[in-house]
């Protein structure tokens, strides 16, 4: 198949040139159009980018990419623009859009060693007082993070710089501003005293970070062992504390690994904003692979993975989507399979003919319509209403809390539960209705209103 590479339309604007009291801003724009089928597949692979998608009455995909940088010189901005990995390729059936970070600030490629990299990681304060002896249920809680692997790139400069044969390196702090662009320069730098200083500094940073995380892990482990030796039982509390500890540990990983658009380099604040504005036919579908992006979709079908950032969609009318560590807002979920992992704030207005799986997430559903299955693990689930004839509703809970509000909607209930605190506030069930709620659960609490 034939592809047409994007043509860039570049606009470079400098703000604040008259006075030095304002930071300079520079921006650049790319634009590309593709004639497509009405059901074209749009593949988006992006990081640290705001992504806005809208539909129009054309069999055409229009891609506009914007990048704005503030707090650097004109020469530095132009260098960033040249290295920004934006690409648009397409034909009638498929359009591929790539928008990843420029290597000039990318930690895994052209490494920038900043003078404010202190890795001040706070150990979570977890209250294990008065937690009594208990046979703890099997839990998906991994104490064995590979801390050395998490921070390996902080010490192994050689592996990082020589990766893929790029030999790109940039070290800048109060005393140094060293830039390497090829293998010859890198080999020469390795023979200098500065190389040894940097190697030692990064080794110390790694050791500090690893110690902090290991202290947190040991504290949790010791507290659990202590709790097993006590005399009384408080099952609900220990499960809640363990879930909280899991989230704390995961959050520490996120805070270290998450990409950011704001940097402080040698005391100067640098801001980078990247945005994609995409227009597609109304029957287009999406294949997403985004990291640290603000994603906004119209009425569409979506597949793929969304990690970090935020996710907002009007109507998802099919697909299979995994969302991790990103607040979620969806107006209508229909004929979908959706997995939410560590999503602390998810709101879905309407759910129909859908399978929804949640792990360590807080989910609010305004209305359940029909043919819905929910699986929740170590999370909180709130359903505010049900359609009058919702049919069969399947609910599976593991170490979770659920609140279901039926109002005047009649229903019958079937329970298969183990160690579940059940509070059914409905005085009676209507045996003449075709609405059936099937609950399977363990170590959970359910309130039915």
Q: What is the pLDDT of residues 329-367, one digit of tens each?
A: 999 999 999 999 999 899 999 999 999 999 999 999 999
Residues of the chain with pLDDT > 90, as a percent, come to 42
What's the pLDDT at 5? 41
Residue with tokens 């359910």: 446
Spatial neighbors of 435 by CB under 8 A, at least 6 apart, are 386, 389, 390, 391, 392, 393, 409, 410, 411, 412
Quote the mean pLDDT of the chain.
Answer: 77
CB 413 within 8 A of CB 437: yes
Tokens representing 286?
A: 């999406």
* Pair 339, 355: CB distance under 8 Å: no
**Regarding predicted confidence, which is higher, 342 or 197?**
342
Residue in 293, 369, 267, 230 with CA at minimum distance from that of residue 47: 293
CA dist., res. 195 & res. 169, Å (int): 12
Top pLDDT among 130 and 270 is at 270
Residue 365's DSSP bridge partners are 348, 383
- Separation of alpha carbons 242 and 443, rounded Å: 13
Is the per-residue pLDDT at 45 higher than 90? Answer: yes
**Mean pLDDT in residue range 197-212:** 73
Cα 38 to Cα 296: distance, rounded to the nearest angstrom = 20
Average pLDDT over residues 131-146: 43
Residue 336: its pLDDT value, please?
94
- Retrieve residue 75's tokens: 């020469």
Confidence of residue 118 (pLDDT cuts 50, 70, 90): very low
- b/e map of 181-201 (b: 16 or more CB within 10 Å)? eeeeebeebeeeeebeebeeb
Does 228 score more than 70 pLDDT?
no
Q: Supply 398's token pair.
A: 């593991």
Instruction: Please tell me the least confidently modeled range out of 44-53, 216-225, 368-377.
Output: 216-225
Q: Which long-range CB contacts under 8 A does 59-62 form with residues at least 24 apart?
A: 59/35, 59/281, 60/33, 60/34, 60/35, 60/36, 60/279, 60/281, 61/33, 61/34, 61/36, 61/90, 61/95, 61/278, 61/279, 61/280, 61/281, 61/284, 62/31, 62/32, 62/33, 62/34, 62/278, 62/279
Range 30-40 average pLDDT: 95
Q: How much is the pLDDT for 115? A: 34
Most confident of 3-7, 224-228, 256-260: 224-228
Nearest one of 52, 97, 100 to 300, comparing CA atoms = 52
360: which DSSP letter?
S
Which residue shows structure tokens 């659990």? 224
Structure tokens at 359: 């792990």
* More reliable by pLDDT, 346 or 222: 346
Cβ neighbors of 11 (< 8 A, separation 6 or more) are 27, 28, 29
Asked whether the predicted pLDDT for residue 222 surpasses 70, the reply is: yes
């Amino acid at each position: 198949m034939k592809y047409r590479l994007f043509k860039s339309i570049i606009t470079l604007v400098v703000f604040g040139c008259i006075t030095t009291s304002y930071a300079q801003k520079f921006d650049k724009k790319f634009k590309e159009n593709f004639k497509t089928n009405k059901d074209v597949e749009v593949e988006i692979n992006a990081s640290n980018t705001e992504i806005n998608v809208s539909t129009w009455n054309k069999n055409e995909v229009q891609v506009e990419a914007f990048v704005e940088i503030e707090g650097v010189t004109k020469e530095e901005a132009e260098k960033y623009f040249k290295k920004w990995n934006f690409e648009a390729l397409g034909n009638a059936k498929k359009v591929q859009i790539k928008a990843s970070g420029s290597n000039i600030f990318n930690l895994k490629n052209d490494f920038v060693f900043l003078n404010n990299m202190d890795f001040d990681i706070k150990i979570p304060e977890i209250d294990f007082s008065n937690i009594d002896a208990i046979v703890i249920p099997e839990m998906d809680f991994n104490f064995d993070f590979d801390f050395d692997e998490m921070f390996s790139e902080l010490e192994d400069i050689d592996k990082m710089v020589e990766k893929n044969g790029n030999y790109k390196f940039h070290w800048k702090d109060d005393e140094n501003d060293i830039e390497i662009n090829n293998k010859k320069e890198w080999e020469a730098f390795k023979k200098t005293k500065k190389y040894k200083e940097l190697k030692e500094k990064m080794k110390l940073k790694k050791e500090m970070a690893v110690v902090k995380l290991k202290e947190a892990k040991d504290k949790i482990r010791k507290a659990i062992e202590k709790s097993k030796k006590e005399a009384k039982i408080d099952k609900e509390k220990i499960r809640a504390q363990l879930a909280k500890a899991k989230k704390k540990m995961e959050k520490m990983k996120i805070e270290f690994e998450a990409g950011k658009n704001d940097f402080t380099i040698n005391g100067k604040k640098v801001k980078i904003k990247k945005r994609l504005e995409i227009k597609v036919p109304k029957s287009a579908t999406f294949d997403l692979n985004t990291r640290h992006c603000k994603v906004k979709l119209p009425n569409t079908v979506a597949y793929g993975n969304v990690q970090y950032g935020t996710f907002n969609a009007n109507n998802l009318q099919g697909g299979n989507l995994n969302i991790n560590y990103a607040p979620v807002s969806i107006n209508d979920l229909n004929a979908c399979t959706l997995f939410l992992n560590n999503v602390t704030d998810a709101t879905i207005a309407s759910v129909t003919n859908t399978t929804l799986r949640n792990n360590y997430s807080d989910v609010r559903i305004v209305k359940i319509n029909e043919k819905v299955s929910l699986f929740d693990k170590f999370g909180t689930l709130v359903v505010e209403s049900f359609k009058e004839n919702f049919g069969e509703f399947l609910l599976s809970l593991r170490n979770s809390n659920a609140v279901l509000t039926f109002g005047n909607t009649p229903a019958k209930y079937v329970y298969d539960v183990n160690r579940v605190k059940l509070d059914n506030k409905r005085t009676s069930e209507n045996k003449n209705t075709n609405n059936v709620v099937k609950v399977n659960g363990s170590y959970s609490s359910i309130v039915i209103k």
